[in-house]
Amino acid sequence: MPIVSAGDARVDYQVHGSGDGVLFVHGTGFGAAGTWGHLVDQFTDDRTVLLPDLAGCGATEYDGGELTVEQLAAQIIGVIEDAGKGPVDLVGFSLGAVVSAAVAATRPDLVSRLVLTAGWAGPGDAYLNNHMTVWRSLSGDADAFGRFGTLTAFSPDFLNGVGHEPLEGIIAGNQPTEGALRHIDLNLRADIRELLPKIEAETLVIGCTLDSTVPVANARELAAGIARSSYSEIKSGHVVVYENPTDFVKLVKDFIRKA
């Protein structure tokens, strides 16, 4: 897999398919393969899919210090330039939506269309701040950390319907790694409100109506701050890419493929 240097990081990324580029940016803790791997084949019939691991995930290496939105945005910029596929359609989920918005605002030449899913603009939401603070405080108990993160990542209907063994597998995979904790710390500080008016790309903002991690009002705020934005909602908990992938893929494909 290709590796590109960006600041203090050596960013590992995957390339699949051929055609115009579409780059997917994952969220807190889970890397690119864990977030997007099951959806790649939905896009590779006519697109080159780029899947980078942000610092703190996968095989990407960095110095282990405090992360910033600017650092992570620089990593995505480095991947786009290294892959030679710019401008790309840029799709970000959760923390990846925050990072993707920053990329679009600071390097409009590299972004054709922008999709922001289950993201937020700044630290003003008391629910989000308390959620992240409690989650972070559970880092000394891996089981509690995994159960709390899973409890708020999905809707009650999904959790009740997925089955005991698959649910326990999800919980076990939601671990307080050093990278995940760095991401949570960044979630508490991230503030891109001043960048939103600088976004030039046509943008689709997706909110998840049953989101218990990042309340859907945050997605609405993102959309309101971006001039060329449209807004859609999906009935889903936070991790829509697993809970309702059919509706998510349709929205994204319809948006990036429209004339």
| Alpha carbons 53 and 138: distance in angstroms, whole number | 24
Token readout for 247 is: 């509706």
Token readout for 217 is: 């009002």
Question: What is the end-to-end Cα distance of the chain in Å, rounded?
Answer: 32
Contact yes or no for 97/208 (Cβ under 8 A): no
| Alpha carbons 35 and 224: distance in angstroms, whole number | 27
Among 94, 100, 155, 236, the one annotated catalytic: 94
Among 12, 53, 82, 211, the one annotated catalytic: 211
| Alpha carbons 10 and 3: distance in angstroms, whole number | 6
238 flagged as catalytic:
yes
Indicate the pairing of strand 9-17 with strand 47-52.
antiparallel
Token readout for 113 is: 């269309």
Contact yes or no for 240/251 (Cβ under 8 A): no
112 flagged as catalytic:
no
94 flagged as catalytic:
yes
Among 26, 131, 183, 238, the one annotated catalytic: 238
| C-alpha 80: how far from chain center | 16
Say which DSSP state 115 is in. E
Indicate the pairing of strand 47-52 with strand 20-25.
parallel
| Alpha carbons 151 and 142: distance in angstroms, whole number | 14
Catalytic residues: 94, 211, 238
